[in-house]
Structure 1
Amino acid sequence: MSRAGGRFLDALAFLSRLAPPRPCNARSLAACVPWFAPAGLVLGSLYTLAAWLFLTLLSASPATMLFSGAVWPAAALAAWLWLALELWSTRGLHWDGLADLGDACGSGATGARFWEILRDSRLGAFGALSLLLIFSGQWLALTWHLAAGHWLPLVLAPAWGRACAVWLAASAPPHDPDSLGGLACAGAGPAVRRIYRLAAFLLTCLLMALGLSLWQGLVLLGAQYWLTRRLAATARRQGGLSGDFLGAAIELGQLCFLLATL
């Protein structure tokens, strides 16, 4: 297997359960970071294919006359399936990071107390509200896209979300260089950051050529820039990034993409 193929499988195995477990060390984990977005593209393609098959079977089944002429209920079910597959395939890893960061930031704590809350496996009120807000936002945006027949954003959203984690890893120092978050930061060097920024710009231009309006393209890039800067500033204020920050960035970036491309 080529080196590039091995790194891609490392990224897919690290981010999901869709690839067999692979031997992992600090060097291999850092080297697979540039492949986060391609791994997200594979995940998005599988989720979207499942949603399309579900809608096709639903429309063809005589037992689903309830949905005849009612696009939104069917789209809502397909969107729920899309999200359920993401939760299953990633083991809820990124959502766990979102909940942990929500609890830590919502507490208003700083320093050691912030990290104590962040590492606490128990779910608090702010974490639960963060999960509810982001999950419902993604579900509504996915439903809207599915009802309108917008398939490309559904394929691209997981790739964009994982690119958000790379942008964040390149924008702030790690809290612990030997942790998973620290190793991700080590893999997001200046060259990777430049490639990902260029890819985001070119993808936005492509989407505009396919029908995305200019203001939507500007909102997408501007909102993503603001989100990355805000998360990076929080990380620097608290002493550095961790894997929870990167997991939260994936889900927040995914929501940003889905909303901006409506």
Structure 2
Amino acid sequence: MLTRFWTEYMTALSFMTRLGCARMYSNEEIAATMRQFYAVGLTVGALITLPFALGAFSQHPWVQAWLWVFLSIWVTRALHWDGWADIWDGWGSCAQGERFWQIVKDSRVGAFGAIAMVIGILGQTLLAHELFLLGSWQVLIFAPIAGRVAAVVLGGLGDAPEASTQGRLFLQGVTRATIMVQTALTVVTGFFLCGFLPTVYTALLCAFLLWSFLRLAKVQGGINGDFLGAAVVGGELAAMLAYLM
């Protein structure tokens, strides 16, 4: 049991961050990483936040906030931000069907994707600054957890389109037990790190975000990996904003 957990955890860490050893993975190994999204979120959150919790740049909350966002992007290779930009490009275009997926899969960033990147990165920087100013750095450990578990829930509620390859593999790894266990762990962690009301507000904001993505997916015929990446970024923003509410 412990060996399987460690293997899945290292696979997820390698795929989603710079922290593991990159190699080729089987379809089954990729699907199994969905069980480790909570653990990866906790790892990323702790790694990029603890230096500031220990006093790094303690007199300069703007510098702390900028570095926190930079480290988040660097550690994850901007993997989720790519999905965030792609989904907003497709969504903002009002295209449907095949044209929507062509826009989403286009390697070039369009106007809506660029706007979403500015809003997202600026939003995380501003929110992180406020949290550091309040001394509430523990919320920044929770935010990456909330984002990744939001992606798990989205994956469990949606279906992959016919053309999806990687997204379909991830969705195959989501079971009802996976959703329940990771959601429960996230709620307990939220209560411990942020308190009752911020955790409730996080859940409500994430629920609205996922409902919006699922409505879009219903029109477009399913969700792919870009939807999951967008859910990660959106969930992080939700958790940070919820605490300040």
> TM-score when scaled to structure 2?
0.93
Tell whether 2:241 aligns with 1:255: no
Selected match of 2:187 from 183, 197, 201 = 201
Preserved contact between residue 163 and residue 196 of structure 1 (Cα < 8 Å): yes
**Which residue identity does 1:182 align to in structure 2?**
R
Distance 1:185 1:4 in 2: 19
Matched with 1:235 is 217
Tell whether 2:156 aligns with 1:170: yes
Corresponding residue SS for 2:157: coil
Q: CA 1:36/1:176 → structure 2, altered by over 3 Å: closer, same or farther?
A: farther
**Which residue identity does 2:7 align to in structure 1?**
G
Distance 1:77 1:141 in 2: 13
**Alpha-carbon offset, residue 133 of structure 1:** 0.8
Distance 1:87 1:133 in 2: 15
Q: CA 1:217/1:92 → structure 2, altered by over 3 Å: closer, same or farther?
A: closer
Selected match of 1:219 from 182, 191, 201 = 201
Matched with 1:62 is none
Matched with 2:145 is 159
Preserved contact between residue 149 and residue 183 of structure 2 (Cα < 8 Å): no
**Which residue identity does 1:33 align to in structure 2?**
M
**Which residue identity does 1:34 align to in structure 2?**
R
**Alpha-carbon offset, residue 218 of structure 1:** 2.8
Distance 2:28 2:176 in 1: 17
Preserved contact between residue 176 and residue 242 of structure 1 (Cα < 8 Å): no
Distance 1:238 1:178 in 2: 12
Matched with 2:133 is 147
* Percent identical: 35
Write the mapping of 1:19-58 to structure 2, written as runs, cut at 5 A.
Answer: 19-52=20-53, 55-56=55-56, 58=57
Q: Deviations over 1:56-93 (max 9, x none)?
A: 3x46xxxxxxxxxxx5xx11111111111111111111
Distance 2:203 2:33 in 1: 25
Write the mapping of 1:179-198 to structure 2, written as runs, cut at 5 A.
Answer: 179-198=165-184
Q: Deviations over 1:4-23 (max 9, x none)?
A: 10100011111101111133
Tell whether 2:110 aligns with 1:124: yes
**Alpha-carbon offset, residue 226 of structure 1:** 1.4
**Which residue identity does 2:119 align to in structure 1?**
L
Distance 2:163 2:187 in 1: 30
Preserved contact between residue 10 and residue 28 of structure 1 (Cα < 8 Å): yes
**Alpha-carbon offset, residue 115 of structure 1:** 0.4
Q: Deviations over 1:147-166 (max 9, x none)?
A: 11112111111111111110
Distance 1:252 1:104 in 2: 16
**Alpha-carbon offset, residue 177 of structure 1:** 7.5
Distance 1:42 1:10 in 2: 14
Matched with 2:92 is 106
Preserved contact between residue 51 and residue 79 of structure 1 (Cα < 8 Å): no
User: Structure 2: which 5+ runs fail to align?
Assistant: none
**Which residue identity does 2:239 align to in structure 1?**
F
Corresponding residue SS for 2:186: helix
**Alpha-carbon offset, residue 195 of structure 1:** 1.5
Tell whether 2:6 aligns with 1:2: no
